[in-house]
A = this chain, B = another copy of it.
Amino acid sequence: MSIVGHLINGELVADNNRTQDVFNPATGVAEKQVALASKQTVEQAIAAAQAAFPEWRDTPVIKRARVMFKFKELLEQNVDQIAKLIGQEHGKISHDAAGEIQRGIENVEFACGAPELLKGEHSRNVGPNIDSWSEFQPLGVVAGITPFNFPAMVPMWMFPLAIVCGNCFVLKPSERDPSSTLFIAQLLKEAGLPDGVMNVVNGDKEAVDVLLSDQRIKAVSFVGSTPIAEYIYATANANGKRCQALGGAKNHAIVMPDADMDNAVNQLLGAAFGSSGERCMALSVAVAVGDKAADTLVEKMSTAMQGLSVGAYDTPSNDFGPVITCQHKDKVVGYINSAEQQGANIVVDGREPNVEGYDNGFFVGATLIDSVTPEMESYKAEIFGPVLQVVRVKTMDEAMKLINDHEYGNGTCIFTRDGEAARYFSDHIQVGMVGINVPLPVPVAYHSFGGWKRSLFGDLHAYGPDGVRFYTKRKTITQRWPSSGVREGVSFSFPS
């Protein structure tokens, strides 16, 4: 069985540490293994990055950017191959994987603009003949720790920008679906990146803890669940690093009575069930204002859901695939069961999907639950499965209170035609990413991604302008020149 290894100093390497199975979630079969890096292996990666730093940092930014221009070309040429690797290990349907890769490429495109993004501020005459300016210098070696659900995109939220800013990078991707990430990293070498600037170590907590404690690592970016995010954030900070840690979510859409209901249903369909709901921006709760809106929504949604098909990644007509593991399937089904037991109404039931030829796959069908209330377990938790819950409220204020009271504040959306309702919502909702008739309000790559409350720890958001600031440190220079014989002509004899 093939073993997925590490990329250190430009070379694929394996160490003699532990390994772990990598499953194809559609078949339920472990077709590969992934190496779990030892402390020593991680330290080798860090050392390689550290060694590459001085020269990379001094490479003019336009040359660093040109590596990203080439990297974009290579990514575009390899979309199918990357999508296949994602499909095999994550289960995502090929068109969905291609979409993920495209979003990743957009971050590379943004990184190509580094010369503009890294400009400092220059002030002439802050005092008489005194000038002052700022430079945004790279940090050194920085690390990324990324989740299984976007093995291509989330790493590309991080390393292109970090690297183009002049840093060297050590990435620890998810051990569930490591192959696409590793493949992508290898393209960087082909794009002209010097060895050692980008390194990938596969692994688990052993590897993570080295990244969190080693003094050579200057910054850590993390995306994953909230409890882990909190651990990462506290540990990295206590070790003197800067850190941004993105955690969980529970994204609500308010459906107003004046909404264009067909449009809302259409939008919600992809936002709730796409990628089996395994997205931190998945729209998992629809809050309908007024029973009439709720009834219409539930009726139209259940009709529309009949057209959805769940299955393996390589059948493009499928809408979404399996969830990531057997355990996770059980957890999702458990939440549906608990909702049922706590009195909610299972309108469309995906607990026993029939996926022909994939009896052992980790499939859950699209599920719609009506009359969910905030006290239910299924409401409180981030289910991370293809489950859309409907909560019924009487007023928009009630809907907003629900959202503002939730511990998470990642994404949210309102469906309405009304300018005032939209503006009041976007102004006052305690959520970092807000959609107006846009159920997955993921900021484009030239803005920044980040939730509020317990969805993000740190003060700077991921990628975009905040990403640039995160991966650089400010240096402010103040300059005054004393009176000069050279200019004033008193020392023409010099130099003798």
Contact = CB atoms under 8 A, between A and B. Distances in A.
Interface of A: 58-62, 65-66, 69, 72-73, 106, 109-110, 112-113, 115-135, 137, 219, 230, 233-234, 237-238, 240, 242, 256-258, 260, 263, 289-290, 292, 394-397, 416-424, 426-427, 431-438, 441-450, 452, 454, 457-461, 465-466, 469-470, 473-484, 486-489, 491-492, 494-496
Given A458-B459, A460-B469, 8 more contacts: A61-B123, A66-B109, A110-B115, A116-B117, A119-B122, A129-B423, A230-B240, A424-B487
B122 A120 contact: yes
Contacts of A432: 473-476
Contact of A128 (B58, B72, B459): B58
Given A128-B58, A419-B418, A419-B422, A436 B473 contact: no
25 contacts: A69-B69, A110-B115, A113-B113, A115-B445, A119-B121, A119-B122, A121-B122, A121-B447, A123-B444, A124-B137, A130-B438, A132-B447, A134-B447, A260-B482, A263-B482, A289-B492, A416-B486, A418-B418, A418-B486, A419-B479, A426-B477, A432-B475, A438-B479, A460-B460, A491-B495
Contacts of A452: 473, 475
B134 A122 contact: yes
Contact of A436 (B134, B442, B480): B480
Nearest to A219: B459
A461 to B, nearest CB: 5
Contact of A478 (B397, B436, B486): B436
Contact of A481 (B116, B126, B292, B420): B420
A42 to B, nearest CB: 23
Contacts of A442: 478
Contact of A124 (B106, B120, B237): B120
A90 to B, nearest CB: 25
B130 A135 contact: no
Contacts of A58: 125, 128
Copies in the complex: 4
A65 B110 CA distance: 11
B133 A122 contact: yes
B448 A134 contact: yes
Contacts of A119: 121-123, 446
Contact of A482 (B417, B426, B448): B417
Contacts of A480: 436-438
Contacts of A418: 417-419, 481, 484, 486-487
A169 to B, nearest CB: 17
Contact of A234 (B238, B478, B492, B496): B238
Nearest to A242: B459
A437 to B, nearest CB: 5
Contacts of A394: 489
A433 B137 CA distance: 12
A372 B115 CA distance: 41
B482 A437 contact: yes
Nearest to A447: B476
A434 B475 contact: yes
A62 B126 contact: yes
Contacts of A492: 257, 289-290, 292
A477 B436 contact: yes
B112 A109 contact: yes
Nearest to A291: B492
A9 to B, nearest CB: 24
Given A123-B119, A395-B489, A444-B126, A460 B459 contact: yes
A137 B122 CA distance: 12
B115 A441 contact: no
Contacts of A495: 258, 491, 494-495
Contacts of A128: 58, 60
Nearest to A418: B486
A423 B120 contact: no
A460 B219 CA distance: 13
Which of A62, A65, A128, A483 has the largest count of B CB atoms less than 10 A from its CB?
A62
